[in-house]
A and B are shown apart, each in its own frame.
Chain A
């Protein structure tokens, strides 16, 4: 009964392949975020969306694209995966002015 879910949880792929990571939420929040986590670098924002028609680039959007299919769904795509995109990817949601964020369990992506 997790509020924010991510699929797949683990993925190994090869350089040049197209990959889609999916995020779904049952919290009813308007805002959704995609982050990547690398050791020693903390969390870096890839894309964020305030609603279905409002999508914004984050700090490290190059090489990534997103789709907000519905309020509850926010997908991240790697059009042509490369090894330095190997990382842990998190989806998060938030609502309200304070921007407390709620995280999914993460997807561990390995690009060979």
Chain B
């Protein structure tokens, strides 16, 4: 079965810094990949998704992610973070109609 690793459990950045959050899944083939975000006190919302095609996908709020098949990775990036990006970020991969989740990365942006 699939597994998902998110390497950084806590990340602290200053506003305007660049962000990259790592996500690796355990085996290849056709994969459907997701990043979800959970703002403080809120439910999970879809940030972006990859199904096929262009490996660089753009999501909401200036986020993007790059699917690198050879590295089994789907890293999340943002060139310049804002205080409002403070949240927990989860990577997930679809495996037989179940989403397999990473443990999450808590991102804190210092104003």
Interface size in chain A (residues, C-beta < 8 A) = 23
Contacts of B87 in A (CB 8 A): none
**What's the interface size class on B, roughly?**
20 to 34
Q: Return the CB mask of A34-76 against B: 1 if under 8 Å, else 0.
A: 0000001111110010100000001000000000000000000
Shortest distance between the CB of A96 and any CB in chain B (Å): 10
Instruction: Determine if A98 and B43 form an interchain contact, defined as CB atoms under 8 angstroms apart.
Output: no
Contacts of A104 in B (CB 8 A): 43
Q: Is B56 an interface residue (CB 8 A)?
A: no
Q: Is B83 an interface residue (CB 8 A)?
A: no
Q: Can you sample 28 A-B contacts with CB below 8 Å?
A: A31-B97, A40-B9, A40-B103, A41-B103, A42-B101, A42-B102, A42-B104, A43-B101, A45-B98, A45-B99, A48-B97, A58-B98, A90-B43, A92-B44, A94-B97, A97-B32, A98-B32, A98-B51, A98-B94, A99-B32, A99-B94, A99-B97, A100-B34, A100-B46, A101-B34, A101-B99, A103-B43, A103-B45
B: residues with CB less than 8 A from A are 9, 32, 34, 36, 42-46, 49, 51, 90, 94, 97-99, 101-104
